[in-house]
Structure 1
Amino acid sequence: MDRRSFLLALTSLPAWRAEAEHAVAEAVEFPAVLPGRKLVFPADHGAHPDFRTEWWYATGWLSLADGSPLGFQCTFFRVRTGIGEDNPSAFAPRQLVLAHAAIADPRLGRLRHEQRVGRAGFGRAGFATGQTSVWIADWRLGQHEDRYQAEVRGEDFAYALSLVPDGPPLRNGTGGFSAKSPDARHASYYYSRPQLKASGQVTLDGRQQQASGLAWLDHEWSSELLPPLAQGWDWIGINLADGSALMAFQLRTGDGAALWSAATLRLEGKNPQTLPPEAVAFTPLRHWRSARTGISYPVEWRVRIGARRFHLVPLLDDQELDSRRSTGTVYWEGAVRVVEDDREIGRGYLEMTGYGERIRLG
């Protein structure tokens, strides 16, 4: 969803703000997201560099050989800055690539995470059109035919994971047109790849181990920021144990009220359902306060999807990710279990933003 363009507002990228102050941003007209535009594959797996923001986002649950659970996150952002577009120099920061990576490790009690920023070009950072391929140095998310590969190397963790889809992309919203408010300007093109079979190696503190599990991948692009009243959002991507899949989100105002909600539910063996705002509700049940930032996050939720009620329970409370050196914000991004009628029925990821400062837009 276009929640990430909220993160990537140009003035909130400290890693290159100083350089941008010495450059001149042209009057760039970014393409609009329009209803009725059909997503076409495999072309739409690749980058859309004319649009302002774009991201590929893989998360999932893994099990080590001894059965220990881990969560993982791998996110790559592409930003068209509007700077240096008429400058023939290869050093002009026309496109940026940013990345976040994390491992949720219950034995450690917090996230292992790192972040990177790079200017597209010179082979150090970049992206491809026509298929998923985005990278910064030795961090990369790539696609060969219909199989993804995520590779990250951090200071105290690393992973190399193969992610294999179980079927075609899941188009969110109306055929991939995902509205974020009653105003059609606030929208993105958005699809998901749920129920990805994950396998590969995870390295923790220098020890490499085999791991396998289920993952989820989102790909979204847009040119609009979120509605001006939006303080932040709550989002879930859930792989249900019966093979079904659920994506849901809400945008919140400064006082915590729901500004806009939506969901896509694909029941196993059936066509996906798009649920309108009135059919989706997030209710916080328990909060956790970060000792590092003082931010309080609702880490347990009840989520209503139509007539169903889901209870979200975190793998661990401390899944706060500090990305102030890249996207300029602090947010909670974590693995959760999904319980219905006192029975675990699925696992996935929960993302929460805007619980500290509202994202600065200028």
Structure 2
Amino acid sequence: MMPRATKHAAPWRALLPAALLGILVALAGCDEAPPERSGAGFAGLGESTAGFVQAGPDTTLRFPEDHGAHPDYRIEWWYLTANLEDEHGEPLGLQWTLFRQALLSSETTPPAERPAPTPWAAEQLWMAHMAVSRGERHAVAERFARSHSAAPSRGIESQAGAEASPFRAWLDDWELASAVTDPGSDTFEHLTLTAFEGEGEARLGYRLTLTAEGPLVRHGDDGFSQKAADGQGSHYYSQPFWRVEGEVTLDGESHAVSGRGWLDREWSSQLLSPDQAGWDWFSLHLDDGRRLMAFRLRGGGADDGDYRSGSWIAPDGTTRPLGPQALAITPLATSPVAGREVPTRWRLAVPGEDLALVVEAPHAERWMTTTVPYWEGEVVARDPRSGERLGVGYLEMTGY
């Protein structure tokens, strides 16, 4: 088993740029601790991706196949956030994410030149994050792994990977997997998530069940999500209708929890343009059953401005894509976090739905001090005039 790094302090909604790639390569072949964490890194997502498959609007998403890995694309993730309450009604937030980065392109690397699928060969590099937030407490762990794309077909068990049917995504014993036993049913409708780290008072993790109470949502143009005015983007869909139940452990103390979850699936070979430094991403569960996904990429828009996009989701899963002119995302206030000023209060507006929200983080200290650092945490949506709570969700911010 490859050495792994664990940090209780910890990215993304995130992505694996070239700077992190070097770190993962180093980890794949030595027992030394990872280098000092970088304060940047997301600009690497705009680097040249020659030879990798490019995301585009002509690709039709297919299920269950697209629940699994896409090794011919450069970057990919399975990304879960959840707004929960414990048995006393106290709110908790959690994140579990599995990231994949391809080292070799199938279009530029003939099969004869690829490494043999042995336990030490690496075509794909993986990173997983786990985070639990409760009040002022924010605990995180991080792991790394590698795999070979041909390993499953050769009967080799990979340290990390993602399979479509029955669905399973894992790194070591951190696993998001289908709990559906009927081979004729959708194996993505009922999942279990298990991830733990540490012992005793340092124990951190969760054992959860996720039950889908609505359909999958394809973002953008039937699953192709444009990320800049020049047209590049990603394949992107979500399951925003998870009912979550189970147990969360923080500082060695376990709590029965329940609430709502949001799982994002995204893969691309060039997520950002070279002139885009990072993004601000929101997933909101409104109390009336509607949901909103919205993001702002800093740079890459018309006239060198920001690029905005989102999805307005009705309670039955009917989705309306929101283009740059249909969505306003405006920072209202910042908080000092990790030696920088980070926006933690925002105004979101969807004029076509007569919707205006103030979205605020109850706790600013949600900085993810992993190898590639970023901010991610729970948010509350309120009516801008009355202050009435209208929903909850998650906010992720990169590149600050």
TM, length-normalised to structure 2: 0.79
Matched, 1:277 2:299: no
- Residue 139 of structure 2 corresponds to residue 104 of structure 1: no
2:122 pairs with 74, 79, 93, which one? 93
Task: Please point out which of 333, 339, 347 is paired with 1:286.
Answer: 333
Counterparts of residues 138-217 of structure 1 (less than 5 Å): 138-144=173-179, 145=187, 146-155=189-198, 156=202, 157-184=204-231, 186-217=232-263
The structure-2 alpha-carbon separation of the partners of 1:192 and 1:221, relative to structure 1 and needing over 3 Å to count, comes to: same
CA distance in 2, matches of 1:246, 1:17: 37
* Structure 2 equivalent of residue 304 of structure 1: 349
Gaps of at least 5 residues in structure 2 are 1-10, 31-48, 149-156, 180-186
The sequence identity of aligned pairs, in percent, is: 36
Q: What is the CA–CA distance in structure 2 between the aligned matches of 1:153 and 1:312, rounded to whole Å?
A: 31
Question: Which secondary structure state, in structure 2, belongs to the residue aligned with residue 350 of structure 1?
Answer: strand
Please tell me whether the aligned partners of residues 233 and 252 of structure 1 are also in contact (alpha carbons under 8 angstroms): yes
Question: 2:246–2:256: 8 Å Cα contact kept in structure 1?
Answer: yes
Distance (Å, rounded) in 2 between the aligned partners of 1:333 and 1:80: 25
Aligned length: 338
Q: In the superposition, relative to structure 1, how do residues 269 and 127 fare at CA in structure 2: closer, same or farther (>3 Å)?
A: closer
Query: Is 1:57 matched up with 2:65?
Result: no
Q: Which residues of 2 match residues 238-253 of structure 1 at below 5 A?
A: 238-253=284-299
CA 1:47–1:37 in 2, change beyond 3 Å: closer, same or farther? same
Give the corresponding residue for 1:68: 90
Q: Does 1:232 align with 2:253?
A: no
**Gap runs ≥5 in structure 1:** 356-362
TM-superposed deviation, 1:18: 3.2
1:246-281 alpha-carbon deviations (Å, 9 max, x no partner): 100010139xx8521001001224721111101222
Structure 2 residue 374 is matched with structure 1 residue 331: yes
Once residues 219 and 45 of structure 1 are traced to their aligned partners in structure 2, the CA distance between those partners, rounded to angstroms, is 8
Task: Kindly indicate whether the alpha-carbon contact (under 8 Å) linking 1:5 and 1:53 is maintained by their aligned counterparts in 2.
Answer: no
- Using the TM superposition, give the Cα deviation of residue 245 of structure 1 relative to its aligned residue in structure 2, in angstroms: 1.1
Q: Does 2:147 match 1:120?
A: yes
Name the amino acid aligned to 1:78. Answer: R
C-alpha distance in 1, partners of 2:374/2:27? 26
Q: What SS does the corresponding residue of 1:253 show, helix, strand or coil?
A: strand
Partner of 2:104: 82
From 275, 299, 307, the counterpart of 1:260: 307
Residues 89-126 of structure 1: per-residue CA shift (max 9 Å, x gap): 522220111111101110xx141111111012654222
1:248–1:44 distance in 2 versus 1, CA, 3 Å: same
Q: 1:360 is matched with which residue?
A: none
Cα distance in 2 for residues equivalent to 1:6 and 1:67: 30
**Which amino acid counterpart does residue 133 of structure 2 have in structure 1?**
A
Give the Cα separation in 1 of the matches to 2:26 and 2:131: 27
C-alpha deviation, 1:283, in angstroms: 1.3
Structure 2 SS opposite 1:162:
strand
Deviation at 1:59, TM superposition (A): 0.3
* CA-to-aligned-CA distance 1:219-262 (integer Å, 9 cap, x gap): 011111411111110000111112111100010139xx852100
SS at match of 2:288: coil
* Cα distance change on mapping 1:236 and 1:48 into 2, 3 Å: same
Q: 1:153 to 1:15 in 2, by over 3 A?
A: farther
Aligned-partner Cα distance in 1 for 2:317–2:52:
36
CA RMSD of aligned residues (A): 2.5
Equivalent-residue separation in structure 1 for 2:345 and 2:160 (angstroms): 37
Contact preservation (8 Å) 1:46, 1:132: yes
Structure 1 residue 19: deviation in Å?
6.7
Aligned mates of 1:82, 1:283 — CA distance in 2:
39
Shift of 1:33: 1.1
Partner of 1:354: 399
Cα distance in structure 1, aligned partners of 2:245 and 2:270: 36
Match of 2:5 in 1: none
Q: Residue 303 of structure 1: CA displacement?
A: 1.1
Q: What's the CA shift for 1:73?
A: 0.5
Q: Is the 8 A contact 1:44 1:130 kept in 2?
A: no
CA distance in 2, matches of 1:305, 1:133: 36
* Contact kept in structure 1, 2:277 and 2:399, CA below 8 Å: yes
CA distance in 2, matches of 1:258, 1:280: 14
**Structure with more strand by fraction:** 1
CA distance in 1 between counterparts of 2:316 and 2:215 reads: 13
- Partner Cα separation in structure 1 for residue 14 and residue 92 of structure 2: 28
SS in 2 for 1:13: helix
121-130 or 38-47, larger mean C-alpha shift: 121-130
Is contact 1:180-1:260 (8 Å) kept?
yes
Compared CA separation, residues 54 and 132, structure 1 to 2 (3 A): farther
CA contact (8 A) 2:280 2:395 kept: yes
